[in-house]
């Protein structure tokens, strides 16, 4: 008998993971706040709101009782937006035991504390085992068995390898990493760069512009990561440049779609409302901007995106600001002399 998996949150990604693990034969229970939606999904075997047209296996049970979902689960998948993680953990912590492992799917940074999700979990549940699953993985594709590769990071090797075994399938390849900081930062801040890529598309700019944004964006993320103790190699991996590529180029990406609408003239709130789901990069842009200031790290793309979203800066002027910055070397620390 395989270990029971409890999934806290029933959005697109939580549902896709429930489908993935259900197909692997795991007994899965997924918690949703909405009783009516629970009943509907259990009856139709389809989450029409987030993943229409994809059938949920019969061994996945949808429930409205969070205590019941957590009870006896060996693995707890945290599938709620970053800004809801702390509230959700406060609700669930009295039911969570030390021998359970939390696997976080959220990609963001908490606004008030500037904490990564691992730091929130450590503060709320200091004894719990923790891992993060990240990488270029649209829920819409994972749910349809489209080949995908991701990374699971944990401070403890045995936890990462256990979660690797739980999630690995012929269509879902899982690598391991000890770099929780790098994997979390890459997954979170690439959403902000994807907003910028979408804004560029909405303005009618081309591939050259987007390629420059993506490349210089990963440089900024790596610069902050290095200051915070992350491994540089992580930003060349699946949770870094891999996730950045897919989020900046795909129409599955809510962040890119929201950016396109902003580039076309919508306000931030109008763009979010039109998407109809959480756009993690919107709030993460505020966290990333504040974190860069706190750590004294230069992140000009992040600054300009923050200015567009929260200070009503004109998007075309923001592009000019980036293009007309002081001249500099591409790589500041290359050894040798000209």
Residue numbers annotated as active site = 190
> What is residue 31's three-state secondary structure?
strand
**53-91: b (≥16 Cβ within 10 Å) or e:** ebebbebbbbbeebeebbeebebbbbbbbbbebbebbee
Both structure tokens of 241: 């440049």
Q: In angstroms, what CA-CA distances link 7 with 23, 127, 225, 228?
A: 15, 20, 29, 30
Dihedral angle of Cα 4, 50, 134, 280, to the nearest 10 degrees: -130
Q: In angstroms, what CA-CA distances link 27 with 39, 73, 76, 123, 189?
A: 18, 9, 12, 29, 33
Both structure tokens of 276: 């109809």
Dihedral angle of Cα 140, 142, 148, 151, to the nearest 10 degrees: 100
């Amino acid at each position: 008998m395989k270990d029971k998996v409890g999934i806290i949150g029933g959005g697109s990604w939580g549902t896709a993971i429930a489908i993935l693990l259900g197909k692997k034969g795991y007994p899965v229970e997924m918690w949703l706040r909405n009783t009516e939606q629970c009943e509907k999904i259990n009856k139709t075997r389809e989450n029409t709101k987030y993943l229409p047209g994809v059938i949920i296996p019969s061994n996945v049970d949808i429930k409205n009782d969070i205590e019941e979902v957590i009870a006896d689960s060996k693995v707890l998948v945290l599938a709620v937006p970053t800004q809801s993680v702390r509230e959700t953990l406060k609700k669930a912590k009295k039911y969570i035991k030390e021998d359970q492992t939390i696997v976080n799917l959220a990609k963001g940074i908490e606004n008030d504390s500037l904490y990564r999700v691992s730091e929130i979990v450590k503060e709320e549940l200091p004894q719990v085992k923790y891992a993060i699953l990240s990488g270029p993985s649209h829920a819409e594709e994972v749910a349809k068995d489209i080949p995908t590769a991701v990374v699971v990071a944990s401070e403890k090797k045995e936890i990462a390898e256990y979660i690797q075994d739980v999630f690995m399938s012929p269509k879902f390849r899982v690598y391991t990493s000890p770099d929780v900081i790098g994997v979390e930062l890459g997954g979170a801040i690439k959403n902000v760069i994807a907003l910028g890529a979408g804004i560029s598309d909405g303005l009618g700019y081309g591939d050259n512009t987007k390629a420059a944004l993506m490349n210089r964006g990963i440089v900024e993320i790596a610069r902050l990561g290095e200051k915070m103790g992350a491994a540089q190699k992580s930003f060349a991996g699946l949770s870094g440049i891999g996730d950045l590529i897919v989020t900046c180029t795909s129409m599955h990406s809510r962040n890119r779609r929201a950016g396109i609408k902003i580039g076309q003239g919508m306000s931030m709130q109008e763009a979010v409302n039109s998407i109809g789901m959480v756009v993690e990069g919107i709030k993460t842009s505020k966290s990333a901007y504040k974190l860069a200031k706190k750590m004294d790290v230069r992140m000009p793309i992040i600054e300009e995106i923050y200015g567009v979203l929260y200070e009503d800066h004109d998007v075309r002027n923001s592009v000019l600001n980036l293009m007309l910055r002081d001249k500099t070397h591409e790589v500041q620390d290359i050894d040798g002399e000209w």
